Amino acid sequence: MQSMEAGSQGDLDAFDRHVGADGKVEPQDWMPAAYAKTLVRQISQHAHSEIIGMQPEGNWISRAPSLRRKVILMAKVQDEAGHGLYLYSAAETLGVSRDELEQQLLDGTAKYSSIFNYPTLTWADVGAIGWLVDGAAIVNQIPICRCSYGPYARAMVRICKEESFHQRQGFELMMALSKGTDAQKRMAQDALNRWWWPSVMMFGPPDGESVHSMQNMAWRIKLFSNDELRQKFIDMTVKQAEALGLTIPDPDLRFDEASGHWQVGEIDWDEFWSVVKGHGPCNRQRLAHRRDAHEAGAWVREAAVAFAAKERARSARKAA
């Protein structure tokens, strides 16, 4: 990878012009070190989110209440693992190794989406995650399909194509509950109550407080601001909640005629920052789970490497 060579001011200007005109950047092209660094951070955070995101839903696979729901959930969690891999693969084109990225996740220096630090307490949470969390993720991800970095954009195209079923299955699950028994309806409403605000916060802090926003938009790594995307999600979801017959847990929610948008009440950013800083209900549990899997698998990874070396030696002996 040649991206880390310092470039001249001319290189920088040419890069900005190219990217500004919606030009694409490929792994071997010259790119500013800060661009590569930002991409590695963003793509790997995204990958880690997919991998950690397997846990809250995976939690219910063994108890899924019908075989149809069970296979749907398994296929969805499996997709998340796949999406994590597509993204690690995109990050690796920037010269960072998967081992390094995984290590950053395990030692807690890398971030992942805070939403996965909330617990899944009932079966309805599986529906709420599909409907709300995947719904928010899709709003976030569709623009990234057009981002400036080729491998990231291509990974996102694949991911968005596969994720369209994730949101639908979540909505369908919520629909089954909200049309079901009273206990099921209560379960669905309770899940919406707990997942609504964390989902709204998934788009990150308000534009004014978002640290990297301006530069990332100039580089076309980010195409819309946090608040723009959040608004899109809110407008879309309010109508869906109505169709489900569920109530969004916000007494201040109102339709603003002037702007044509739904406005939510005050967002509790203190909670957001507290979860980001590691004090969410499940931060420790999620990381411990990941570390356990990694450590328990060490002997398997070692054995496969040892066997591959033996095989190479054997075929070399045969050839000699």
Q: Footprint of other proteins on this chain (CB under 8 A)? A: 2, 26, 28-30, 51, 54-55, 58, 61-71, 74-75, 77-79, 81-82, 84-86, 88-90, 92-93, 97-100, 103, 123, 154-155, 158, 162, 173, 176-177, 180-181, 183-184, 289, 292-293, 296-308, 310-311
Beta carbon of residue 242, minimum distance to other proteins (angstroms, whole number): 22
Query: Contact at 8 Å (CB) between 210 and 225?
Result: yes
Backbone angles phi, psi at 163, to 5 degrees: -80, -10
Beta carbon of residue 86, minimum distance to other proteins (angstroms, whole number): 6
| Nearer to other proteins (CB atom), residue 255 or residue 307 | 307
Beta carbon of residue 277, minimum distance to other proteins (angstroms, whole number): 24
Beta carbon of residue 245, minimum distance to other proteins (angstroms, whole number): 16
Backbone angles phi, psi at 256, to 5 degrees: -95, 110
Strand-pairing partners, residue 261, are 256
Strand-pairing partners, residue 263, are 254
Instruction: Render 59-87 in DSSP notation, one character per residue.
Output: TTGGG-SSHHHHHHHHHHHHHHHHHHHHH
| Nearer to other proteins (CB atom), residue 85 or residue 236 | 85
Query: Contact at 8 Å (CB) between 192 and 128?
Result: yes
| Nearer to other proteins (CB atom), residue 4 or residue 305 | 305
Exposed / middle / buried, residue 196 (Cβ in 10 Å: 0-12, 13-18, 19+): buried
| Nearer to other proteins (CB atom), residue 156 or residue 264 | 156
Beta carbon of residue 174, minimum distance to other proteins (angstroms, whole number): 11
Residue 130 CB neighbour total at 10 angstroms? 25
| Nearer to other proteins (CB atom), residue 90 or residue 234 | 90
Residue 263: its H or E element: strand 261-263
| Nearer to other proteins (CB atom), residue 263 or residue 285 | 285
Beta carbon of residue 256, minimum distance to other proteins (angstroms, whole number): 38
